[in-house]
Chain A
Amino acid sequence: NAGVTQTPKFRVLKTGQSMTLLCAQDMNHEYMYWYRQDPGMGLRLIHYSVGEGTTAKGEVPDGYNVSRLKKQNFLLGLESAAPSQTSVYFCASSWAGGREQYFGPGTRLTVT
């Protein structure tokens, strides 16, 4: 099993450009999460999903959108990138709430 995978690993965007980050998991997990990690600020939840077709906002949702059309995939979109969105983005999944979350390898995004 590949576990949780993320595409791409690295990306550089110019301000105002858009992009989509893809997260895929092969563990049949119901719950999926998108976090951003910034120095000194830990992991902050952007959006999450508790099942196919559902999404919900986390702590820092502004400037991001998500979709969960298939159970195994969770997409994070940036419609108009800003330098403040420069960060490392981690996707995670779990089979239930209050259980271990399995993280992907991360995507390092730089917005210039």
Chain B
Amino acid sequence: GENVEQHPSTLSVQEGDSAVIKCTYSDSASNYFPWYKQELGKRPQLIIDIRSNVGEKKDQRIAVTLNKTAKHFSLHITETQPEDSAVYFCAASIPGTYKYIFGTGTRLKVLA
């Protein structure tokens, strides 16, 4: 069945450094890839998404890249700040349905 693998499970960076989280999906027909941020005790919230007809998308300090051939996509956060500390989830759409499969999450800690 469809599967999304996410790495690493935890990531610690110094404030101001960059962070990269990678996800691999199994179904080559997946065409929508959102990233959600979940702060401790809060609900997941969308921070950026990308569709399969685009290779890269940026929004200020956040970017997502997609490699359809290799079936992986990555979240890049530059100039990290303490408020970036959270759990980040990737997801991939399941073709022909209205569903996503989520990755297992990455806990990002930004050290001041």
A residues with a Cβ closer than 8 A to B are 31, 33, 35, 40-45, 48, 50, 58-59, 90, 94, 96-101, 103-106
Contacts A42-B102, A45-B99, A58-B99 given; indicate if A100 touches B43 (C-beta within 8 A). Answer: no
Distance, CA A40 to CA B99, complexed state (A): 20
Distance, CA A94 to CA B49, complexed state (A): 14
Checking A31, A43, A94, A97 against B102 with a beta-carbon cut-off of 8 angstroms, the contacting residue is A43
Checking A44, A59, A97 against B98 with a beta-carbon cut-off of 8 angstroms, the contacting residue is A97
The 7 closest A-B pairs by CB, nearest first: A97-B98, A103-B43, A42-B104, A43-B102, A98-B32, A42-B102, A100-B46
Distance, CA A104 to CA B42, complexed state (A): 9
13 CB < 8 A contacts A-B: A40-B9, A42-B102, A42-B105, A43-B44, A43-B89, A45-B99, A90-B44, A97-B93, A98-B32, A101-B34, A101-B100, A103-B45, A104-B43
Distance, CA A43 to CA B43, complexed state (A): 11
Is B69 in the interface zone, CB < 8 Å from A?
A: no
How distant is B60 from chain A, measured CB to nearest CB, in Å?
Answer: 18
Let me know if A100 and B97 touch, CB within 8 A: no
List of A residues within 8 angstroms of B6 by Cβ = 42
The contact size tier of chain B is: 20 to 34
How distant is A8 from chain B, measured CB to nearest CB, in Å?
Answer: 15
Is B31 in the interface zone, CB < 8 Å from A?
A: yes
Let me know if A98 and B103 touch, CB within 8 A: no
How distant is A24 from chain B, measured CB to nearest CB, in Å?
Answer: 14
Distance, CA A97 to CA B44, complexed state (A): 18
Contacts A90-B44, A98-B31, A105-B43 given; indicate if A42 touches B93 (C-beta within 8 A). Answer: no
Let me know if B98 and A31 touch, CB within 8 A: yes
List of B residues within 8 angstroms of A43 by Cβ = 44, 89, 102
Checking B31, B42, B44, B104 against A41 with a beta-carbon cut-off of 8 angstroms, the contacting residue is B104
Let me know if B98 and A50 touch, CB within 8 A: yes
Q: Which of A31, A43, A97, A99 is packed against the most chain B CB atoms within 10 Å?
A: A43
